[in-house]
Structure 1
Amino acid sequence: MSFMISASLVQVIAMTKTRRTESETVRREQILNAARKVLDTKGYDATTVSDIVKEAGVAQGTFYLYFESKKDAVMELGRQVMGEMTRRLTAAQRSDATFEEQLRLVLRTGFQVADQNADLCRLMHVGEESAGRKIKQAVGVAENPFMLSMVAMFRSAIERGETFMCDPEVAVRLLHRMVGGALQEAHLYGDKEDTKCIAETMEELVVRAFVKR
C-alpha cells in the first residue's frame, strides 16, 4: 500500500513539473512576442521593460525570471531567427550539392526567412548602435551554429577547389555583411518588387564573387 502511494506521488510530482515547464515555455514566448510587437512600434531605444510587460500582461518581476534585460530579450529574438534559418537549411541540404548550389540555397533561404521577419530586419538596421548591435551579437561567427556551419562549408569548398584560397571565417564575415546590406536595402527602402530584385541580384553577385569558374 505504501509503495502504491509513493508511486502515485512520484507520478503527480512528474506531471506537475511537466505542466510547469510547459507553462514557463508559453510565458517566455508570450513575453518575446510582446517585446517584438513593442520594438516594432517604438524602436529599440524608446522601448522599456515596462512597455514589454504591459503588452504581455505580466508583472515586471516575471520578465526578469526569463530575461536579464531588454538586450537579452532582443538577442533571443535574433537567435530564434538564426535557429529557423538553420532548421530550414538542414532540412533542405543534400550531401552531393556543389558549393554553388549550397550558396544559392543559403541566400534564398536567408531572404525568405528575412521576408517573414521583416520587423526584426528593420530593428537590426534602424539605430545601428543599439538594437542592431545587440542582435548581431547573437548572430556573430564565434559561437553561432549557423555561422560555424557556413565556415565549414567554405572550408570544404576551398579543399575541393570550388572557391579561391582564403580565410573561411573572414569570407563568412564578409558574406554576412554583404547580405546584411542587401537586407537593409530591401526592408528599409524597398517595396515587395524591390525585395525580389535585390534578392536575385545579391544571389548572382555572391555566386560570381565566391564560386571559382
Structure 2
Amino acid sequence: MVVTIGNKKQDRRVQILAAAREVLAEKGLDATKISDIVKKAGVAQGTFYLYFETKNSLVRALEEEMLEVVFKEIGLIIDQYSSFDQAMAKCIEVAFYRMADYDDIFFIINNGCGIEADPLEWERLCAPYYTLMEGYILKWQEQGELDPILNPRITARLIVSLTEKAVQDYFIHPSEHTIDSYIANVVRFVLKALKP
C-alpha cells in the first residue's frame, strides 16, 4: 500500500498529539517540555515545530480534537430522535461522556481556553455546534415543542455554554455526585427552561 505525503503528515501530527497527551497527563502542563513530547513520539524536535508553533498551540489542538469528537458524534445522533426531549438528553449525555474520554488532561485543556487570547477562537471551535443546535431549536419551535419566543441563536449558545460549564464543574471540582447525576440535572434544567 502506498501512503501519500498528506496522510504521513496527518499521521505524524496525530502521533505527536497522542504522545503529548500521555506526557501532559503524567507531568502536567508546566513540567512538560517539548523535548519530552518528541522523545515520546519518536520524532525530531524540529518535526514538532512543523505542526505546532508552541506548547500552547498543542494544547489548543488537543482542545480542538476533543470538541471535534463531541460535535461529530452529536451531529451523527441528533437526527435519530423524533422529540426535542430525547435529542437534547442524548446530546448532553454525549457531550459529558466524550469529554470524559479526555479526563486525563481535561484540566489542562480547560485551562487551554485561558491560553487563547482571541475570543474568536472559541467561536470558531464551537460554530458548527451552535449552527447545528440553532437549526434544531428552530425545527422544534416550529413543531410546537419549544417556546416560540426564544431566540434560537441565543438559546443554542446558552445550551452549549451551560453544558460546557457543567462538564467543567464535574471534572475540575471534586464532587460526591456521579456523572449521570450531573447529566440528569443539566437535562432537566434545559428541558424545563425551554418548554412553552
Task: Calculate the TM-score normalised by the size of structure 2.
Answer: 0.80
Gap runs ≥5 in structure 2 = none
Q: Structure 2 CA distance, aligned partners of 1:96 and 1:116?
A: 24
Report the structure number with the largest CA radius of gyration.
1
For residues 45-78 of structure 1, give each alpha carbon's deviation from its aligned partner in whole angstroms, at most 9, with x where no partner exists.
5544333223323222101212233333222222
- Partner letter of residue 123 of structure 2? G
TM-aligned CA deviation for residue 22 of structure 1: 3.5
Change (3 A) 1:106 1:71: same
Consecutive unaligned residues in structure 1, runs of 5 or more: 1-13
**What amino acid maps onto 2:59 in structure 1?**
V
- Percent identity, aligned pairs only, is 27
Q: 1:109 to 1:28 in 2, by over 3 A?
A: same
Helix, strand or coil at the partner of 1:118? coil
Name the structure 1 match of 2:14: 29
* Mapping for residues 1-213 of structure 1, pairs under 5 Å: 15=2, 18-94=3-79, 97-126=82-111, 129-130=114-115, 133=116, 139-140=122-123, 144-164=127-147, 165-190=149-174, 194-212=178-196
Aligned partner of residue 123 in structure 2, secondary structure? coil
Report the alpha carbon displacement of residue 94 of structure 1 after superposing the two structures with TM: 3.1
Change (3 A) 1:139 1:159: farther
Shift of 1:193: 5.2
Whole-angstrom CA distance in 1 between matches of 2:85 and 2:94: 14
Moved more, 137-146 or 18-27: 137-146
Q: Alpha carbons of 1:24 and 1:177: their partners in 2 closer, same or farther (altered >3 Å)?
A: same
C-alpha deviation, 1:82, in angstroms: 2.3
Distance 1:209 1:54 in 2: 50
How much is the aligned-residue C-alpha RMSD, in angstroms?
Answer: 3.1
* Aligned equivalents of 2:81, 2:15: Cα separation in 1: 41
Q: Which moved more, 1:28-37 or 1:46-55?
A: 46-55
Q: 8 Å contact 1:53–1:60 — kept in the other structure?
A: yes
Q: TM-score by structure 1 length?
A: 0.74
The alpha-carbon distance between structure 1 residues 151 and 94, as it changes in their structure 2 partners (threshold 3 A), is closer
In 2, the alpha carbon distance for the partners of 1:197 and 1:94 equals 25
Q: What is the distance in 2 between the residues matched to 1:202 and 1:68?
A: 37
TM superposition shift of 1:110: 0.9
1:189/1:69 CA distance change after superposition, 3 Å? same
SS of aligned partner of 1:105: helix
Secondary structure of 1:161 counterpart: coil
